[in-house]
Structure 1
Amino acid sequence: MGIVGAGPAGIYAADILTKDETLAASGVPVSIDVLDRLPSPYGLVRYGVAPDHPRIKQIQQALHKVLDKPQVRFIGNVEYGRDLKLEDLRRHYDAVVFATGSDRDRPLDIPGADLPGCHGAADFVAWYDSHPDTPEDWRVEGTSVAVIGAGNVAVDVARILAKDADDLLETDITDNVHRGLGAKGVTDVHVFARRGIAQAKFTPMELRELDKQPGVEVVVDPEDFELCEASLAAIEESNQTKTNVKILQNWAIRDLRGEPRRLHLHFLHRPVEILGTDRVTGLRTERMELTGDGGVRGTGELVDHDVQAVYRAIGYLGSPVADLPFDEERGVIPNDGGRVLDLDDQPIPGVYTTGWIKRGPVGLIGHTKGDALETVANLVADRDFLAPAAEPEPESFLRLLGERGVPFTTWEGWQRLESHEESLGEPHGRKRIKVRSREDMTRIARAE
């Protein structure tokens, strides 16, 4: 079995396969290779979670246990579509599961979105998480910046923009990230949500953390607290919504503390234009009103906000996967319950998908378990109809990579790199400091 993508979705799929009772009862030995284009595993947990979220990063401990199983083999620094084709994988594996995730920003289709100073959240998150494929430097422009979106990514981006860089020195950030954030002069961060307070998608934990930053206070305009029948019903039906609304209401009525930096939360504001000629100089929004059924409509009232940068956090999209059909609008691989479909909507034998590339970037990290359960169940149901691999021997795949000059990394190599990162952090009282360069990561993992 081959799994492309060593993030939570791919690793959960590997875990479920090793525990499948049907396979165990059949006496069929299970051998799984989890491949990733990066030298390291964990995907979104390592490169998509804000560095000041150690509780979420603890998911790595559970993922580690899966990759440490004798039936599972991690092979990193192997890029599907460059180093390998689908026919290569099908030659070596009875079935292949694609778990490549969502790595692109959904575009913002308004005038001015292409101006310098308008950034995608995915790019910014990858930079402050020291993704090896991002540029080393990032200049945070201006004193007032806007973040568009009402989900956890928007909240993370806003928090990092408002936070004092020195408050991140207990995390795993690299020196270039500390320098970049330390050079910023941001005093005001404005977060804009198109819908109302009861429709916001962030979790209470993420919301509360906004107000726990030294030197930062959260500002909420009481005028944004419009509630309709659908909003009241949502509050009654969801403890998360009820908690969010209570937190926001308390913030709206309290006195300001006079902190040097402010984080403003704006609801019922739809971005209609990013202002500027040579670069971002402002953001124009339209005031919205609730329609009573959970939706919103424009009022025609326009508001201009003086900001010098805009960060789009309106959702992620997956990237096309070589040799497979792709739904460009949704950013997913077309599938039926994880079975990848061809252009005639027929299942491609032996090819499956799971995670965000299967269903889109919705839900929390743990929700990918449900995706993996469905995909693996269908894969196991298909097992008697799958064409066996022509070269299933574990070493034959590694020989192929060697013949193609691919400097792949292994599970043992990752543990070597992990120990190195921990040794970098130890003199500074930190759990680890990431190695940022792909070349350095590969060299350390391969003991070269």
Structure 2
Amino acid sequence: MTRTEPNRVLRIGIIGAGPAGIYAADQLTKAEVLTHTDTAVSIDILDRLPTPFGLIRYGVAPDHPRIKGIVSALHRVMGKDEIRFLGNIDYGTDITLDRLREFYDAIIFATGCIDDAGLDIPGIDLAGSHGAAEFVNWYDGHPDYPREWPLDAREVAVIGNGNVALDVARMLAKHADDLLSTEIPDHVYAGLKSSAVTDVHVFGRRGPAQVKFTPLELRELGKVPDVDIVLYPEDIEFDDESMRQIHSNNQTKQVTKTLTDWTLRDPGTAERRLHLHFLQSPVRVLGDSHVRGLRTERMELDGTAHVRGTGTFTDWPVGAVYRAVGYFGTPVKDVPFDDAAGVIANEAGRVVSDDGPVAGLYATGWIKRGPVGLIGHTKGDALETVTNLLADAGGLTAPARPHPGDVDEYLAGAGIPFTTWRGWLTLDEHERALGQAFDMPRERIKVVGREEMVAVSRSRSWGRAGDAGERRPGRG
């Protein structure tokens, strides 16, 4: 059956409580008012982690409070009456697509891209060769990743010229004590404190005018205590197209000026060094069973800001390699997937199969368009997806069990210890209290273990399963 009665409540399930999912929920609540319709919305945001905020909590370096400040805006959205958070629920395992359809008129997938993109060069699978996402999840205390990380190499290579590469390089080079004011977990501090790293080499295959660093990220790199930034004058090369980009794009102008200025610095005396290499394309990771070096080919600009090989190779004696060449999406169970692009198959946010649009299924964020752009760019994705969902609302099949309590009843009956927004507030308070217990107070100490997060989240005011639904409209 379809819903045509006025003043109906449109039940929406969003899979993924990161920025993309939360922005979609925000757009849904705004759209109701902006379009002056008689359709109310009731939204559940489900996540496999016990906590909300996804990439902000587990994908941003801990020494970036400015970026983490986005949480304040997301927090306000999650506090809206129309929105519930249900965490520690693994889509495809704890709850299936068919089951979700029993509860929701429409489902939006905002699962993001969490895997490292591949780099097809010999030796990339040697021990000591890592994906940047793995390292990021370690230093951000992701509950599903090991607590130990090998930091026994003195010289390491980071492949990539984007902000993630800079984050990885900075975290490798930075002294652990300089991170004590952040929320890094104890095991991360201990690991970094015992690190043998002295030199971090960042390699990019294109020229300095083509890097993807933002000016602010780059400037922050130059302020890391007791870490010298080392550049090589022969790498600072610009062709005609590079000069056009510099003159026409203020961000490119700022980045290249910073890099050029750094080449004029006198050699430093810091204990650690961060080397930025341009026009060096990785061609092989060296070693037998473990990384013993990285071979690169010198590139040259061809006049159009593209590069070509020169046939000149250099072997760099590094003991570990980190590839930061992008992220890639993973298939979502029972949802059409574009394996080549690493995204859910969709047209403007509507999920599509070979037979056309799949009724009631939508996508937003990186799993919709690929891992490009900054966090704020997901707002435009959300608006497009939500606009199309609301346009389809009249033809959506009504769920058999539309009451929010039905979801809670199912989860409780299945023995799934799900967490709620109230639980997050409890955990948030707990982590902040842990941080205040130090002689030098810290904003928070992040709880790492999944079981501990769930236990703390469910420790206060946990009555009936449906207590997550209190003060929410349309819930009986």
Q: What TM-score do the two structures reach when normalised by structure 2?
A: 0.93
How far did residue 294 of structure 1 move?
2.0
Matched, 1:422 2:423: no
> C-alpha separation between the residues in 2 aligned to 1:249 and 1:119?
30
Q: Partner letter of residue 380 of structure 1?
A: L
Q: Deviations over 1:9-53 (max 9, x none)?
A: 000000000000477622111100011000000000000000000
Q: 1:347 is matched with which residue?
A: 357
- Segments of 4+ in structure 1 off by > 4 A? 21-24
Count of residues in correspondence between the two structures: 447
Q: Residue 98 of structure 1 aligns with which residue? A: 109
In structure 2, distance between residues paired with 1:22 and 1:125: 39
Task: Indicate if the aligned counterparts of 1:286 and 1:301 stay in contact, CA closer than 8 A.
Answer: yes
Does the CA-based 8 Å contact 1:189-1:262 persist in structure 2? Answer: yes
For 1:211, the equivalent position in structure 2 comes to: 222
- In the alignment, is the contact (CA less than 8 A) between 2:434 and 2:444 conserved in 1? yes
CA contact (8 A) 1:332 1:359 kept: yes
Do 1:315 and 1:361's aligned partners in 2 also have CA atoms closer than 8 Å?
yes
Aligned counterpart in structure 1 of residue 281 of structure 2, from 264, 270, 278: 270
Q: Which SS does the other structure have where 1:349 is aligned?
A: strand
Contact map agreement 2:32 2:40 (CA 8 A) in 1: no
2:183 equivalent among 172, 178, 184: 172
Unaligned residue ranges in structure 2 (runs of 5+) = 1-11, 461-476
Deviates more, 1:124-133 or 1:375-384: 375-384
Letter of the 1:430 counterpart: R
Alignment of 1:32-43 (within 5 A): 32-43=43-54
Q: Which residue matches 2:469?
A: none
Is residue 117–residue 141 contact of structure 1 (8 Å, CA) maintained in 2?
A: no
CA contact (8 A) 1:103 1:319 kept: yes
Letter in 1 for 2:302: T
Give the corresponding residue for 2:259. Answer: 248
Match for residue 127 of structure 2?
116
What amino acid is aligned across from residue 423 of structure 2 in structure 1? G
Name the counterpart of 2:158: 147
- Structure 1: which 5+ residue stretches go unaligned? none
Whether 2:25 is the aligned partner of 1:3: answer: no
Question: 1:429-440 maps to which residues of 2 (within 5 A)?
Answer: 429-440=441-452
Contact 1:142–1:307 (CA under 8 A) maintained in structure 2: yes
Q: Take 1:141 and 1:154, find their aligned partners in 2: how far apart are those partners? A: 20
Q: Where in structure 2 are the equivalents of 1:254-293 lying within 5 Å?
A: 254-293=265-304
- Residues 43-192 of structure 1: matches in 2 within 5 Å? 43-192=54-203
Match of 2:23 among 12, 16, 37: 12
The answer to whether structure 1 residue 441 and structure 2 residue 464 are counterparts is no
Tell me the residue number matched to 1:404: 414
Q: Deviations over 1:64-97 (max 9, x none)?
A: 0011000000000001010111111111100000
User: Offset of 1:420 from its aligned partner?
Assistant: 0.2
Cα deviation 1:404-430 (Å, max 9, x = unaligned): 111000000000000000000002211
Contact 1:409–1:442 (8 Å) recurs in 2: yes
Shift of 1:186: 0.9
Partner of 1:322: 333
Contact 2:32 2:41 in 1 (8 A): no
Alpha-carbon offset, residue 269 of structure 1: 0.5
Matched letter for residue 442 of structure 1: V
Tell me the secondary structure at the aligned position of residue 451 of structure 2.
helix
1:384 Cα deviation after fit: 1.1
User: Displacement, 1:402?
Assistant: 1.1
Which of 227, 239, 254 in structure 1 is aligned with 2:250? 239
Partner residue, 1:305: 316
Give the partner amino acid of 1:402: A
Deviations 1:138-192 (A, max 9, x none): 1213110000000000000000000001111100011100111111111110000
Q: CA RMSD in A?
A: 1.0
SS in 2 for 1:382: helix
Separation in structure 2 between the aligned mates of residue 118 and residue 21 of structure 1, nearest angstrom: 49
Q: Check conservation: 1:228, 1:293, Cα contact below 8 A.
A: yes
Please state how far the C-alpha of 1:307 moved relative to its aligned partner: 0.3
Which letter does structure 2 place at the counterpart of 1:401? L
